[in-house]
Amino acid sequence: RCVETINHSACLCEPGFIGNRCQTAKECPPLSPPENGYLKCSEGSSKFNTTCQFKCHPGFLLTGSSA
């Protein structure tokens, strides 16, 4: 959301966006695949608002938190 005033404009970006007009999506730090597994992401693994799933190679079991 941008506000124009005399000789000045200011933008308050929605979460996940940056730039003088909020035109650029932030990138997250890249994720690493788990040992004996891989990542399956809806977009590139570092794009904002991307969902990734950790998957295991056959014969291995995923353990740990889901978030």
| Residue 59 binned pLDDT confidence (cut-offs 50, 70, 90) | very high
Q: What is the pLDDT of residue 57?
A: 97
With beta carbons less than 8 A apart as the criterion, state whether 51 and 36 touch. Answer: no
Q: Write down the pTM of the prediction.
A: 0.58
Cα separation, 18 vs 48, in Å, equals 11
Dihedral over Cα of 12, 51, 62, 33: its sign: negative
What ranges make up the beta strands (E) of the chain? Answer: 2-5, 8-11, 17-18, 24-25, 37-41, 52-56
Q: What is the pLDDT of residue 22?
A: 84
Q: What is the pLDDT of residues 3-31, one digit of tens each?
A: 777 777 778 888 888 888 888 888 888 88
Q: What is the pLDDT of residue 56?
A: 95
User: Does the pLDDT value for residue 43 go beyond 70?
Assistant: yes
